[in-house]
Amino acid sequence: MTSDPLTEVVKLLRPRAVFANPISGKGDWAVRFSAYGRPSFCIMLAGKCKLAVDGQEAIALTAGDFVLLPTTPAFTISSFSPAPPVHLDPNTIGGEGEVRYGDPNGEADMQSLGGAFLFEASDPKLLASLLPLVVHVRGSTRLAQLVRMVGEEYVDRKPGHELMLSQLVGMMLIEAMRSTSSGKAPPGLLRGLGDERLAPALKQMHAQVDHPWTVAHLAGAAALSRSAFFERFTRTVGVAPMEYLLSWRMEIAKDLLRREGLGIAEVAERIGYASTSTFSTAFSRHVGQAPREFQRSPQVPTA
């Protein structure tokens, strides 16, 4: 059995564009956004501008570029000529209508589509753990095609546009993760999948999450000694192999409990626990709630 870990991650997140605004600018302008704390994106449709995310080097954005901010810290977006920044709260942006920066009259120098994601079930921290603070993709033909389709879908609003947007956003996320080189990714799944020795072990772990894996079994899949595998996995993925497996099992368990409404015993069996009590103890320790309590608690979609 084979498994595609990135597909599994996006399936658990189940993203859709919660809002996307056409954004344009003309002349000299600058806008300063306070921290949002949740995933947002910008698609450059025409022209150029400058993006300066706090703590990161400023980057030039041009038509066709895609930017994903998994946690959206405070940032400034501007024209290339200096201008006093207008301060905005990202929580007040959204809904219908174009957002205009700078001169409100005449044809815009810059056009983009900016928005934020809503994740239907899983904790969006799962996405933030996979990616650097700023994902900037340039020159990706596939992503440019998705960008164009998102723009068209959002403007045209044809029947079925909500489903189309959710599917397109999911594909954009996968493409953004693919485009993030293993060297730029933080310790985590992406960097692990970029390691030719660790990738087979990670894929097997995801393909058979209910298997009674041991470090020795996984080291064999990676063609490494037990100690070499443990050190390499921990350094590259950021956590020890069994800790990673536990975290992934718990993400699946949360999804099965809430979205599919399965019983605790069945969830335990599906993710490799022979004992319901052992699963319940592990889940409570990892999630902070007992499985039944988690299943019954109100589910609030997170942007």
Q: Residue 59: in which H helix or E strand, if any?
A: strand 59-62
pLDDT at 302 > cutoff 50? no
Q: For the segment 110-155, what is each residue's pLDDT rounded down to a tens digit?
A: 999 888 877 765 566 777 777 888 888 887 788 778 877 877 877 7
Asked whether the predicted pLDDT for residue 1 surpasses 60, the reply is no
Q: How far apart are CA 212 and CA 91, in angstroms?
A: 45
Residue 194 has pLDDT above 60, yes or no: yes
> 135: which 2 tokens?
């994902």
Backbone angles phi, psi at 113, to 5 degrees: -130, 120
CB-based contact 182:72 (threshold 8 Å): no
Residue 210: CB atoms within 10 A of its CB come to 13
State the DSSP H helix or E strand holding residue 126, giving kind and residue range, or none if neither. helix 125-128
178-188: b (≥16 Cβ within 10 Å) or e: ebbeeeebeeb
**Chain position carrying tokens 């595998």:** 229
What residue ranges define each of the domains in the chain, with the CATH number in brackets?
Answer: 5-179 (2.60.120.280), 189-296 (1.10.10.60)
| pLDDT given for residue 201 in this prediction | 94
Measure the CA–CA gap between 283 and 285, rounded to whole angstroms: 5
Which DSSP helix (H) or strand (E) runs through 199?
A: helix 198-207
Tens digit of pLDDT for each residue in 234-259? 999 999 999 999 999 998 999 899 87
pLDDT at 303: 43
Residues paired with 40 in a beta bridge: 69, 116
Residue from 274, 273, 275 nearest 253 by CA: 273
Specify the pTM.
Answer: 0.75
Report whether pLDDT(41) > 50: yes
Whose CA is closest to 209, among 255, 263, 277? 255
CA neighbours closer than 13 Å in the CB half-sphere of residue 251: 22
The pLDDT value given to residue 176: 81
Which pLDDT score is estimated for 116? 83
CA-to-CA distance for 259 and 122, rounded, in angstroms? Answer: 10
Predicted local confidence at residue 95, as pLDDT: 58
Cα distance between residue 275 and residue 255, in whole Å: 19
Query: Residue 225, SS3?
Result: coil
> Does residue 215 have a pLDDT over 90?
yes
